[in-house]
Amino acid sequence: MEFDLLTLFLLFLAGFGAGFVDSIAGGGGIITLPALLASGIPPHFALGTNKLQSSFGSFTATVNYAKRGLYEPKKVLEGIFFTFLGAAIGAYIVKFFSASFLTNFIIIMLTVLFVFTFLNKNLGLKTKARRMKPFLFYTIFGLAIGFYDGFFGPGTGSFWTIALVLLLGLDLKAATAQTKIFNFTSNIVSLAVFAMSGVVLLKVGIIMGAGQIIGAYSGSTMVAKKEIIFIRYIFLAVVAATIAKLVYDKW
C-alpha cells in the first residue's frame, strides 16, 4: 500500500501521542488503531502494524524506566516469562475465535477499575505491604494478562498497573514503570504471530515507531520527575477514554 506524505506525517504524530500517553498510563492503542484504520488500512493489517509500532514505544519506555531505577529487570524475570507464555497462547487462540464476545466483560471490568481507583484517592500514592508473593503473582497475572493481551488487548496496561499496586504494594510510579516491560513482552509475542501471517506494514510501522520512541521517552521521563498524583490523573483519564472507545465501537 502507498501513502502520501501528509498521511505518513499524521501517522507519525499519532505514534508520538500514543507513545507519550502509553508510557504514562497505557491505552496508546485508542489513538493509533483508529488512526491506522482511518488511513484506509484493512483491519487485520492495522492490528499487525499497530503491534509493530507500539513495540517501539514500550521498549523505549522499558529501557528509560530501568535506567532511572524505577524497577530492576532481574527482579521481574518470572513476570516476563509467564507474560510471554500467556501472550503466546492468547495470540495463537485468537486465530480460531472472535474477540468480540469479550467486549462487554472488558467494559464492565474497566468501569469497575475506574470507579475503584477514583473512589480510593490514596490508592498507589505510597508503597504498601505485599498481599501476594511475587512468584505466585507473576505466575497468575503473567499468564492471565499476557493471554488477554495476546488475545484481545484494550486495557492491558491498566490491569497490570492496578494489580501491581493492590497485590504487590507498589506505588503508581513503580507500577507504571514495571507495567511497560510486561507490555513490551506481550507486544513482541503478538507481533511475531502477525508477522508470520504477513499482515504487518513495515514502512508505516517504522514511521509510527519513530514517533513512539520520541513520545515514550518524553512520557517516561516525565513520570520519573512528576509526583505520583500526576500519574493518577492521567491513569484515570486513559481508563475513561478506553471505556468510551470500546462502548463507541460496540454501539
DSSP letters spanning 51-77:
HHHHHHHHHHHHHHHHHTTS--GGGGH
The whole model's pTM is what? 0.89
Distances (CA, A) of 219 to 138, 230, 231, 232: 26, 12, 11, 14
Burial class (CB in 10 A: 0-12, 13-18, 19+), 108: exposed
| pLDDT tens, residue order, the chain (251 aa) | 889 999 999 999 999 999 999 999 888 888 998 999 999 999 889 988 999 999 999 999 999 999 999 998 888 999 999 999 999 998 888 767 666 666 777 788 889 999 999 999 888 888 899 999 999 999 999 999 999 888 777 788 889 999 999 999 999 999 999 999 999 999 999 899 889 989 999 999 999 999 999 999 999 999 988 888 889 999 999 999 989 988 888 77
For residue 24 the three cell numbers come to: 504514562
CA angle 169, 158, 199 (to 5 degrees): 135
Residue in the structure block whose three cell numbers are 515507531: 209
32 within 8 A of 229, measured Cβ to Cβ = no
The distance from CA 208 to its chain's CA centroid, rounded to whole angstroms, is 16
Instruction: Tally Cβ neighbours within 10 Å of residue 223.
Output: 25
For cell 504494594, the residue is 169
Using alpha carbons, select from 42, 64, 32, 35 the residue that is nearest to residue 187. 32
Cβ atoms within 10 Å of 129's Cβ, excluding its own: 6
Q: Are 211 and 12 in contact (CB under 8 A)?
A: yes
